[in-house]
Amino acid sequence: MYENYGLFLGGAWVQGAETAAVFSPVTEKPLGLCPQAGLAETAAAIEAAARGLKAWGATAAFARADALHKIADEMARRTDEAARMISLETGKPIAQSGREWGLSVDQFRWYAEEARRIYGRIVESRVPGGRFEIHHEPVGIVAAFTAWNFPAALIARKVAPALAAGCSVIVRPSSQTPGVAMVMVDCCRAGGLPEGTLGLVVGPTATTYAPIMADKRVRKVSLTGSTRVGQQMIRDAAATLKKVSMELGGNAPVIIYDDADLEGALNLAVPTKFANAGQVCVTGDRFYVHESLHDAFVAGFAARAEAIKLGDGLDPTVGMGPLINAGRLAEMEKIVAGAEAAGARLVTGGARAGFNAGHFYLPTVLADCSDDMAVMAEENFGPIAAITRFRDEDEVLARANSTDMGLSAYAFTTNPGRARRTVAGLKAGMVGINSFAMAASEAPFGGTNHSGMGREGGTEGIRDYLDVKSSQVVWA
């Protein structure tokens, strides 16, 4: 499965000295053997990126834009292949995989145009005959570290703006989903990038992450991962003063006000919650439902959850696939058991799906949850919806904000004034009102507090890949 690709070094696919098996979360059997980068291969990737930076950084912005459009064209052509790879490695339903690849194509389209719009400024100087010219230059070599849950979109959000800015990039994907990264990098060959502009290494932390973080030529690192990993990366980046941006964990509240469209909220909330088996940082974890709608919301949520078909994501009739590995499956059991012991009521789910193989866990709904329960206070990153009730607006906003996380938050209301107050009152990098659609190439994506720093997407997304230079130009 991985034999046609490998590690991408100096513009070519190469095989590493070592390999490691990649396992299907559906069958628990190996999908194939993936080449692993050793210290020598990672060093070669950095050397190649240094060469690529010189050529790509000197390439005109309009030429960079044309290259990104060619990459997007190739990605669109290979949609079926890529969607299948996503579903094989993650287990997610094929329709969700296709949408993810489409969002990834959008990132390259968007940043192709942003490459043409890296604007400078002219500032009049107090020095007679002088003026300041404000320029933007590529920050340098970028290292992109990505998670497994959105193996295409997370890479595209980093690679597209970095290339648009004129940076060279080394991609280090999750070892659980290397094939998706390989397909995307292979698509990037269609852009005619200079040798070394884009590299791919897969392998253990000691032979990939560590040497990249230690090399002072790597000037920027971007991470999508856990808060714990992000904290360690900040410490590691300090030694060489690398720029850092990261999208970390979430624990999103969803507020259902008394004036909400109940059926509309349920029709959006349930499929969003159980997409990718709940393994989504921005998905709703904590559902705060006004006491007047609480019982109907719980009943409607449970009925819809029970109607979801579990199975292999390659089956187009499947609505939810497995968790990524056995560790996540065990964690779901621990979370539910802890919630029940603390007094939560299990409405539906709460058990393994009973298949002969695969990491399948039933869509789960817990009611009568209190804010001090771990299922409310911590991100569950799985198919568990924790529901509680509230009485008034001020109360629910305070409860929703009682976390160190600040990635996303949501509310449903038909009152425009309440919607505006809620947007202002919620402490999160992204707030959805009557919508969960936050991941779009044209809008900035990211969090605050322990959920990260920097933004991906939108005009803001390219800024982390640019250095600002000012010059004072005086004519006598």
For 251-270, letters b (16+ CB in 10 Å) and e give bbbbbbbbebebeebbebbb
Q: Residue 296 is encoded by which pair of tokens?
A: 């109907």
8-state DSSP, 345: E
Task: List the Cα angle 89/91/94 in 5-degree steps.
Answer: 100
Residue closest to 106 by CA, chosen among 81, 69, 149, 142: 69
Question: Cα separation of 348 and 350, whole Å?
Answer: 6
Contact 358, 324 (CB under 8 A): no
Catalytic choice (34, 187, 188, 281):
281
Under 8 Å between Cβ of 361 and 277: yes
86 burial level (CB within 10 Å; 0-12, 13-18, 19+): buried
**What does DSSP assign to residue 352?**
B
* Residue whose C-alpha is closest to residue 36's, from 183, 154, 200: 200
**Active site residue: 74, 89, 247, 456, which one?**
247
DSSP 189: G
Class of residue 160 by CB neighbours under 10 A (exposed 0-12, middle 13-18, buried 19+): buried
With beta carbons less than 8 A apart as the criterion, state whether 142 and 221 touch.
Answer: yes
Angle formed by the axes of helices 79-90 and 178-188, nearest 10°:
160
**Could you give the CA distance from residue 345 to residue 355 in angstroms, rounded to a whole number?**
25
State the Cα–Cα distance between residues 235 and 138, nearest whole angstrom: 24
Are 168 and 56 spatial neighbours (Cβ–Cβ below 8 Å)?
yes
Cα→Cα distances 453→66, 166, 185, 227, Å: 30, 22, 26, 11
How far is it, in rounded angstroms, from Cα 375 to Cα 387?
10
Query: Does the annotation count 195 as an active-site position?
Result: no
369 a catalytic residue = no
Q: What are phi and psi of 152, to 5 degrees?
A: -95, -50
**So which residues are the catalytic ones?**
247, 281
